[in-house]
Structure 1
């Protein structure tokens, strides 16, 4: 039985079978002719008539021809699965047009690229590929990670749907204790509607999962092919595979990226009417609440910010200063001015939008952190007393002491919780974060914070009002903690970019911005703990960061003896 013209190494010989190599050019014309020679450059068997073209065309004269017997003794070549064949002429690729970036067979080179200046033999340039790993394989591996992330996200959405539906049950059961008759009917009705929404949404998510699984299968297949070629193939085969599969790989990566951007988080919730009425109607006609299905695109809340430098100043010793300034607290006033606390020199300073100093006030204590309470009032924590101080900062930049609020805990960082309370970070105290009212009433969060005592300056906190989350930086542990107060859970964020995290602030889309002292950068973190961006600063040891009221600007100050700076940036997404 004759072999069907396969290339070297395609089939193992079977005992009792005589292997006959057929002329491959003749096979393409539906003719079966025994092969007399093998061209190692074309990588195909040819009969004498077909191989004579090597003597006619000057461009083919350098090809190496050997007898079929000698060819069968060659080392087995890797099967390219027709990747090395021209789609138009079904001939092996022999040339690469550097002008048009295209692979060419001998016919392509003559018919389509005669006017091109840089048509080179693949064999001469293929040896330049020295990397053991294909760039296409790297792209596919990266795309595979994204696809796997999408798969996990879909599974997470399914679990969240089940969790949300279960929470609705619990909420309704709790309300039923107050109005038994009404909520017995309500639980059944709303639960059915929730199940319908869940079933419909699961169908959509399942379709997305199926599509993503197909992408994963395609990526895996391409990756196996490329890795196999780069492991076993010749330089020529590697080069051809790289060029031939690039468009398919790019399309796969693009499709997976689009799926990732379209990935959605689906939540289902039930909201009671503000004024609950009990009309004499069956529950099927009147439901005292609304069942909502909320879908949020992943890209809508995980946007990396961009920082554009606006202005910068060097902090120098002036006037009655004891030493060079050290700003332990900075915050924006509502009108865009900046207020800063100089710990070393016991001062409160005011800067305009160009970072020009426009106001100064000598304090009798060592100030730590500061937060703008209203348009003309700021609150300050102290490093030497159990007090929170209030200052009045007028529109004309006049600063006066307003009042002192006694407390029982030592506080460092401070931020607003709402229009009546602060969230404050402690020092020398086993409770790292507490709530303090504007009048000085102190209480704890109903969260299991670790029983850890922070020295002054080793931790800072901030608060995300929209989702009731507290952020704590741990300078010694190189860690940022994000606590969800509603669920009593936390996210722990560790990364090479987060080294000695100091000040923290809430940035655009309620992301977290952290000063990292040992990497000299501002790191942006999502509420789920994902590193969204990292901005390298033109300063050493950044210490404090604050964001303007509408999240348009950011100011950062450092703690580098001999080189104190403050910089302002415009925020964009």
Structure 2
């Protein structure tokens, strides 16, 4: 044996492996008694020290020694390992997201600088063009004005010379001439002097101060920035919960259920045009026909089961309660309430006079409506069930919508207003709480008209040009687009439980209404 191994004990590899111990770092000690775990209670699935086994588990039926079962039962280490691996991957994903967010924030700040510089350059180019255009026009005005002044100056100089000449002649005659000569000269020159005096008087009366100046419109008169809090823009910090890009919970799918083609009947004066539809309790549908001034009720199969003749042209309808609906009319300044019984009998309940012309209408709560206006600078207003009118504390775009160019809906759960702009091919989403808005423009949104609140409070919009129903998230993301078997979809409504959708169109000669089952 080598001297270096004199004091070493040699063992087999197998024995050495068996004798290796792992530092448990107190994992093998009971928290209560600080003793090593020796037992496992199979009844309560708990590790026990000797004290736990005697004190806490003496009534249990199966308390076994750990060393007897440790090598026999299936180890949970693989399952725990998988869970920890998943947790680690998730944590690493969070770390990546945070790093990405930091990078994105840096890029966003850079983008702000770039955007402001671009706006500054665009404004400078605009003012360069403005300066060039105004200078050219000012020079033209100056040239034309100078020509007129030069003509007047020449004319005045001629008059001045004539007056001087006449004055010299008269003074000479009256100084040196005979009485006969004076008499002849006075009568001879009287007319010429009168004409000269009249012309010079007219010139004096027509004298003008000529100035050229330039004034900016009120919209371009900025206050002095160093002395004001005014900033021509908004710096926004938005924090939204990240949506899983693989999630399809919000994406809507439509399955056709039934459809009808509505034609002119004997008591109609024109082909029906449904400008308002909404779901009644139990799956029935209420609709208003602007062409024939009617309110109608349809059952779940879209079979007409009730009709009521109105004295005005109805615009829109909303279900207020189980047996009451409210109708806007034009150009009348009122909102009429109708009673619709469970037997589909319709009768007038009451009428509220208002001071604004309203088109679309929807419920805000059990006491108020949200109404869309037309031909009014306030695009959306609040009307109580008793007729009082109020304005939102929201900075809406200063635009007046003609009739049939816009629709508005209210999303109760998040206190948001949606306005469609048919002519601008745009959908606006206003947040009432923060007084901010999201502007949605997309190739899929063409002539947006009627709108409704869909599943998960998404926004459903009828697009007349593309003949589609487009689904939009509250952040302005296009979630889905459904091609309809009809032309020019005009109005859309969704049942209270978000399980059915009905859409009506604006297509003379091909009027149609379709019902769909909603699934996500």
TM-score range, shorter-chain basis? 0.5 to 0.7
* Offset, 1:208: 3.7
1:209 and 2:156 equivalent? no
* Offset, 1:207: 1.3
1:566 and 2:513 equivalent? yes
Q: Residue 311 of structure 2 aligns with which residue?
A: 364
1:512 to 453, 459, 462: 459
Q: Residue 420 of structure 1 aligns with which residue?
A: 367
Change in Cα spacing, 1:450 to 1:552, as seen in structure 2 (3 Å) is: same
- Secondary structure of 2:275's match? strand
Q: Residue 410 of structure 1 aligns with which residue?
A: 357
8 Å CA contact 1:502, 1:515 repeated in 2: yes
Change in Cα spacing, 1:553 to 1:435, as seen in structure 2 (3 Å) is: same
Change in Cα spacing, 1:532 to 1:296, as seen in structure 2 (3 Å) is: closer
1:483 to 419, 430, 442: 430
| Mapped partners of 2:248, 2:414: distance in 1 | 13
1:148-297 aligned at under 5 Å gives the runs 206-209=94-97
1:456 and 2:403 equivalent? yes
Q: Residue 351 of structure 1 aligns with which residue?
A: 298
Q: Deviations over 1:361-413 (max 9, x none)?
A: 00001000000000000000001210000000000000000100011100000
- Secondary structure of 1:335's match? helix
2:332 to 379, 385, 405: 385
Q: TM-score, normalised by structure 2?
A: 0.55
Q: Deviations over 1:491-531 (max 9, x none)?
A: 00011111100000000000000000000000000000000
1:128-147 aligned at under 5 Å gives the runs none
Q: Residue 273 of structure 2 aligns with which residue?
A: 326
1:426-445 aligned at under 5 Å gives the runs 426-445=373-392
Q: Which runs of 5+ in 2 are unaligned?
A: 1-89, 102-237
1:308 and 2:255 equivalent? yes
Q: Deviations over 1:324-348 (max 9, x none)?
A: 1000000001221000000000000
| Mapped partners of 1:482, 1:266: distance in 2 | 17
* Offset, 1:350: 0.3
| Mapped partners of 1:329, 1:401: distance in 2 | 18
2:439 to 485, 492, 507: 492
| Mapped partners of 2:400, 2:500: distance in 1 | 33
* Offset, 1:301: 8.7
Q: Deviations over 1:69-94 (max 9, x none)?
A: xxxxxxxxxxxxxxxxxxxxxxxxxx
Looking at CA atoms only, which structure, 1 or 2, has the larger radius of gyration?
Answer: 2
- Secondary structure of 1:380's match? strand
Q: Residue 470 of structure 2 aligns with which residue?
A: 523
* Offset, 1:210: 6.9
| Mapped partners of 2:93, 2:373: distance in 1 | 45
1:547 and 2:435 equivalent? no
1:342 and 2:276 equivalent? no
Could you list the runs of 4 or more consecutive aligned residues of structure 1 that deviate by over 3 angstroms after TM superposition?
202-206, 210-213, 294-302
- Secondary structure of 2:399's match? coil
* Offset, 1:460: 0.3
| Mapped partners of 1:397, 1:507: distance in 2 | 26
Change in Cα spacing, 1:366 to 1:204, as seen in structure 2 (3 Å) is: farther
- Secondary structure of 1:492's match? strand
| Mapped partners of 2:369, 2:338: distance in 1 | 16
| Mapped partners of 1:204, 1:423: distance in 2 | 46
- Secondary structure of 2:413's match? helix
8 Å CA contact 1:266, 1:296 repeated in 2: no
Q: Which runs of 5+ in 1 are unaligned?
A: 1-201, 214-264, 268-293
Change in Cα spacing, 1:395 to 1:328, as seen in structure 2 (3 Å) is: same
1:101-112 aligned at under 5 Å gives the runs none
Task: Give the aligned length.
Answer: 295
* Offset, 1:451: 1.3
| Mapped partners of 2:298, 2:245: distance in 1 | 38
Q: TM-score, normalised by structure 1?
A: 0.50
Q: Residue 192 of structure 1 aligns with which residue?
A: none
Change in Cα spacing, 1:299 to 1:366, as seen in structure 2 (3 Å) is: farther
| Mapped partners of 2:274, 2:247: distance in 1 | 35
- Secondary structure of 2:283's match? coil
- Secondary structure of 2:95's match? helix
* Offset, 1:266: 7.9
| Mapped partners of 2:268, 2:98: distance in 1 | 68
